[in-house]
């Protein structure tokens, strides 16, 4: 079973979570604001620390400031399991397919300290 877990940014539609879990109930997908996840309005640098400490890949649509936050995070000697940036021109089904494929066929270490734009397949 995959060790990949996803944290969906608060601006990512929670239907992605439901769609993934409908297909694969064993996938761990949390949304910002879920119990145990960072609260809504948590600052991006704090979200990166949370993801690092818990081993979650961040799924976001924030392609402008997230690279800066990741650079600063890494410059401070920290690490990140990875960040996936959603291409909002893709259908929800295509993005769910992509996240499922990554979960199925990848190892967490493949994405360490990287930002990857979906689709990557």
For residue 30, give its domain range: 5-117
CATH number of the domain within which 39 lies: 3.40.50
pLDDT reading at 1 higher than 80:
no
Looking at the structure of the chain, the number of domains it has is 1
CA dist 38 to 15, 25, 32, 73, Å?
A: 18, 22, 5, 17
pLDDT reading at 121 higher than 70:
no
**Neighbour tally for 58: CB within 10 Å:** 27
Q: How much of the chain, in percent, has pLDDT values that exceed 90?
A: 90
Instruction: Give every strand in the sheet of 28-31, ordered side by side.
Output: 28-31, 5-8, 57-60, 83-85, 115-117
State the pTM of this model: 0.95
pLDDT-based confidence at 2, cuts 50/70/90? low
**100/114 Cα distance (integer angstroms):** 19
DSSP 111: G
Note the pLDDT tens digit of each residue in 33-58: 999 999 999 999 999 999 999 999 99
């Amino acid at each position: 079973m995959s060790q990949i877990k996803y944290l969906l940014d608060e601006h990512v539609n929670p239907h992605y979570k439901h769609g993934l879990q409908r297909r694969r109930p064993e996938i761990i997908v949390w949304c910002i604001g879920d119990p145990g996840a960072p609260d809504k309005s948590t600052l991006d640098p704090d979200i990166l620390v949370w993801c690092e400490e818990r081993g979650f890949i961040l799924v976001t649509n924030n392609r402008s400031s997230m690279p800066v936050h990741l650079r600063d995070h890494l410059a401070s000697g920290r690490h990140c399991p990875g960040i996936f940036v959603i291409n909002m021109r893709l259908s929800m089904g295509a993005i769910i397919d992509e996240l499922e494929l990554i979960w199925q066929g990848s190892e967490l270490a493949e994405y360490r300290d990287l930002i990857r734009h979906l689709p990557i397949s």
